[in-house]
Amino acid sequence: MSAQVSVTAAARLHLGFLDMNGGLGRKFGGIGLALDSPATIVSLKSASSNSVAGLEAERACPLLSVTQQILAPSRHFQLTVHQAIPAHSGLGSGTQLALAIAAALRKLENLPLNAAADAAMLSRGARSGLGAGLFEQGGFVVDGGRGPSTLTPPVISHTPFPQEWRAILVHDPSAIGLHGTDEKAAFAALPPLSESASGEICRLVLMQLIPALAEKEFAPFGEALTRIQEIVGDYFSPAQKNSRYTSKSVERLIMRMGELGAAGLGQTSWGPTGFAFTESEISARIIQEKITKEAHSLGATITLHHGLNTGAKIDQLYAQIA
């Protein structure tokens, strides 16, 4: 019998930072949501030497190497990336790929799963613990930011996302969100967010956004998220050509969806993907139908999604050796 592990890790929306001021000794903090699609799917099995096949090989190869050297230095593995979340689109592709690879190796080697430790090991938790939290639990997650001794920012709240609600994503394939050295430079150049703005975001999250999710009240959820995105978007706008959105086409379509009744409008991470929410599948499809022609004229794509309230799927398969 030979063993192979398969891991499916879902995309996520980064819905905003809590505190870019840092005056209380912690910085960042974030809110995020796991989505039903797209997803990254990897498989891993033992081999005589490390190898990577399939998609995202350039990103996956060093991730496998580091994971193997730290967790199983005497072993080697064959990794295949069957499906990948689009890179640099604001959907958490790098973190989910890293965590999927680490989880697959842990499962194959009978090691305890630990997404937070893997995020730190693979340098995926510098500013956010959302990727690890959503990998483990799905749903809507809040992380508590980075303190002086933090390895991976801790998850401090987890709430199931209402299954009736829908997220509408708008993607501009001609644009790319900030990443790598450009992203680091952007964070370094931005001044601290004011205490009043950070305080407003935290109040909105604690006293409106999370309670609205818990009680399935769509209107206050949408109002809170839109306001959070306005504050965060204004803060990051100097790094985005003085705009709340990386893509002008995405911004135009998101604003149009707001006019048509969608709520909770914004951009995930550095974009270029934007999002809006509706209270039902029917309302989402009506809005999608009304803006599809305009989206096509702008070269953008419109897709419908629901929140995913479960963590990554990890399966161990066995094949009979002839």
pLDDT digits (tens, 9 = 90+) for 260-298: 999 999 999 999 999 999 999 999 999 999 999 999 999
CATH number of the domain encompassing residue 106: 3.30.230.10
Which distant-in-sequence residues (6+ apart) come within 8 Å of 180 by Cβ? none
3-state secondary structure of 89: coil
> 170 and 144 in one domain?
no
pTM (2 decimals)? Answer: 0.95
> 148 and 11 in one domain?
yes
> 271 and 258 in one domain?
yes
212-235 pLDDT, tens digit each: 999 999 999 999 999 999 999 999
CB atoms within 10 A of CB 186: 16
Domains of the chain: total: 2
> 315 and 203 in one domain?
no
Share of the chain above pLDDT 90, in %: 94
**Taking 80 as the threshold, does the pLDDT of residue 320 lie above it?**
no
**Taking 60 as the threshold, does the pLDDT of residue 321 lie above it?**
no
Give exposure, 300-317, as e/b (b: 16+ Cβ within 10 Å).
bebebbbbbbebbebeee
> Could you tell me the residue range of the domain that residue 241 belongs to?
162-306
> 138 and 222 in one domain?
no
Please compute, for residue 129, the number of CA atoms within 13 A of its CA located in the half-sphere on the CB side. 27
pLDDT at 2: 57
> 155 and 39 in one domain?
yes
**Taking 90 as the threshold, does the pLDDT of residue 317 lie above it?**
no
Look at the block and give the residue holding tokens 């702008």. Answer: 298
Look at the block and give the residue holding tokens 């974009």. Answer: 271
**Taking 50 as the threshold, does the pLDDT of residue 139 lie above it?**
yes
3-state secondary structure of 34: strand
Provide mean pLDDT across the span 18-38.
97
36 closest CA partner among 129, 130, 169? 169
> 318 and 294 in one domain?
no
pLDDT at 115: 98
pLDDT at 126: 85
Provide mean pLDDT across the span 116-137.
95
> 317 and 298 in one domain?
no
pLDDT, averaged across the chain: 96
Which distant-in-sequence residues (6+ apart) come within 8 Å of 96 by Cβ? 9, 10, 11, 12, 39, 40, 85, 131, 135, 312
Provide mean pLDDT across the span 128-149.
97
> 295 and 149 in one domain?
no
Which distant-in-sequence residues (6+ apart) come within 8 Å of 290 by Cβ? 260
Provide mean pLDDT across the span 230-247.
96
> 1 and 140 in one domain?
yes
**Taking 70 as the threshold, does the pLDDT of residue 23 lie above it?**
yes
> 319 and 251 in one domain?
no
pLDDT at 322: 46
Angstrom distance (rounded) from CA 57 to CA 53? 6
CATH number of the domain encompassing residue 176: 3.30.70.890
Provide mean pLDDT across the span 306-314.
98
> 315 and 208 in one domain?
no
Q: 1 pLDDT band (50/70/90 cuts)?
A: very low
69-96 pLDDT, tens digit each: 999 999 999 999 999 999 999 999 999 9
175-213 pLDDT, tens digit each: 998 888 999 999 999 999 999 999 999 999 999 999 999
